[in-house]
Amino acid sequence: MRCIVCGNESFELFHRGTRDNSAIDVMRCKKCRSFQLSSFSQIEEGFYEVGDMHKDQYSVSEDTYSEQVWDSWVSETQEDDYRRADMIKAKIEGGGLKERNVLDFGCGNGGFLRRLKEQKAANVVGVELDQDARKHLLSEGINVYESIDMIDPSVKFDIITMFHVIEHLEEPDRILKALREKLTDNGLLVVETPNADDALISQFHSEKFMDFTFWSAHLFLYTTDSLGMLMNNCGFSVVNNSQVQRYPLANHLYWLSEGLPGGHVKWKELSDDLLNKSYEDILKKLHKCDTLFGVFRRE
C-alpha cells in the first residue's frame, strides 16, 4: 500500500471490517493519518452507473427512480444543498454565484444545481455516473454528463464542486488534475468530504459509530491537513480549508448512549440552535467536526 496523499508506505490497522464487508479493513497512514481501505476491488465496473450506491432507495422494479423515491431523495438533501450554496457565496469575492459558470462533479439528484439556477448562476452543469439520475435531470432541463471528457473542451468553469465524492475516487489525484484543466485561471474547486478526525472516531472512540460509518464505498477519508496536502500536490492552493458539523450534539449523545444513528431525530428536544452552534465551534477548534469543507484555487 502507498498513501495517495503523502506517498508513505507505512500503515497501521485502524478498524477491522466495514459495515458491509467484514473482509475489508480500514488502514491509517502513519505519516498523514488519512484512512485508506485495504482493498478497492469491491467497486466493480458499473457500481455507480446502475445506482448501487443508492440501492436501499432504488426502485428495482422500474427502469428509473420512482417519483416517490426521487422526491424523497431531493427532499433529504435540500438542507445540505442550500447550506452549500450559501457557504460558497460567502467565500467568493465579487457577488457570490451570480453569473458564474459552475460544474458540480458527482451531482447526484441535482439539488445543488437547482439552487444555483434559482440564484441566477450563468451556467450550471453536472457530471453524474448514475445513469437513471442523469435521465431524470435531463428531463428537468439540467445539463448533465457521464464524464468530464464529454464536456466541450473549450468550456471553462469559474467554480467546480465535489460534495461527498472525493472519498469514493480510487485515483483522486488523476481526477483532481483533470478538473483543474476545466477551471478558468484562478478558478475555485470546492470539496466537501467526511472528516477522518470526526469526534466520534478520534475523541469519543465510539466503536458502534465506526462499525456504522466505515463503508466499502469510501475508499479514502481525509483530515484537514491531508486534504490540503492532496490539493497542493494536484496544483491547487488553499483559499479556505474549514470544517462543518452536519449532525448536532443530540446525534453524538445518542451514539454514545444507545450506539445508534438518528439521535438528532429521536432526541429533538435536546436540539437548540445556540447549543448546536457552540458545539460546532468547539469541534472546529479541535478539527473534529464530521465534515471537511475546503475551497481551493487553481494555481
The pTM (predicted TM-score) of the whole model is: 0.92
CA distances from 24 to 38, 53, 215, 219, 295 (A): 6, 17, 9, 10, 31
pLDDT tens for each residue of 208-223:
999 999 999 999 999 9
Beta strands in 18-163 (DSSP E): 26-29, 35-37, 101-105, 123-127, 143-145, 157-163
pLDDT tens for each residue of 28-80:
999 999 999 999 999 877 677 665 555 554 444 455 678 888 888 999 999 99
